[in-house]
Structure 1
């Protein structure tokens, strides 16, 4: 079980490492009026974020199951998933309203910092799982 969680943490780190620069590019594209490129990139980023949220849900399930005692509490990302879901709703509204600058702001100044916070805790969790 521990090996599976460790592998999932490594996959999460890889996913976050890829999606953050992609989101920053999407934000730049929106600001520069390249709406089609931004919308396409944003769709791809949303798929990656769905995977991140699913992984976090699995970590919570493992933690709640008590499958092993030394499960790193940082992997439950307490509060992050709610912030992410709330933010995704706000971003969807901005996209539907075609408010590209607001969407770019939400991506760059709200979403990316949350994802960076999540990524920052992963090395400690990996160490605890070693």
Structure 2
């Protein structure tokens, strides 16, 4: 038996060679169109691959039931924007902490935390980029202005990093990075509204 979002599909697990074949066919069938798979249960046990294509190694002959749980892409995107608002707060707070550490001449700890801040910022921008592409948000002037502004600040951060001027880095973080990051609160809220519509 194959169940998708609580509905029995009427399809039999044994019609497929292995679990990967079953999952691919379910994706291709249109049953999961505009949806994101959140969970796969095999005989009521949660399944996630430990290594790539592990599902290919699981023959369906030993499986009685596969249940696939999913959410609409738009619902997932709205959830992501809620998390991104939290990330904006984390980036602003991280900027404050790094700036304070540089001002205290605690360069080693500041640089370690600064690397984490850059990683979070990169991941934030990557996720914003995915949402922008998926939901065609390129028309938003507020979005484009915020993107250009943060790119400019990150370029400046990169130059200051090369020169190892930690006091200037604290200034850039405090007076440019943090205000720029905080503007993303409004952009993310507008993004969520666009997605919901």
TM-score bracket, normalised by the shorter chain, equals 0.7 to 0.9
Cα distance in 2, alignment partners of residues 12 and 48 from structure 1: 11
Mapped contact 2:77–2:131 kept (Cα < 8 A): yes
Cα RMSD of the aligned pairs, angstroms, is 2.2
Q: State the alpha-carbon separation in 1 of the partners of residues 166 and 142 from structure 2.
A: 32
- The structure in which a higher percent of residues are strand is 2
The DSSP-based 3-state class of the residue aligned with 1:77 is helix
- Aligned residue among 76, 84, 92 for 1:20: 92
Structure 1 gap ranges (5+): 65-70
Matched, 1:109 2:175: yes
Q: Is the 8 A contact 2:103 2:167 kept in 1?
A: yes
**Greater relative contact order, per chain length (Cα 8 Å cut-off, separation 6+):** 1
Rg (Cα) greater in structure = 2
TM-score after normalising by structure 1: 0.82
Deviation at 1:123, TM superposition (A): 3.9
Post-superposition Cα deviations, 1:13-46, rounded to whole Å, max 9, x if no partner, equal 1211212111101001111111111101100000
Correspondence 1:93 to 2:159: yes
Instruction: Tell me which stretches of 4 or more aligned residues in structure 1 moved more than 6 Å.
Output: none
Higher fraction of helix: 1
**Structure 2 residues without counterparts, runs of 5 or longer:** 1-72
- TM-superposed CA distance for 1:48, in Å, is 0.3
The number of residues matched between the two structures is 123
Contact 1:56-1:77 at 8 Å conserved across structures: no
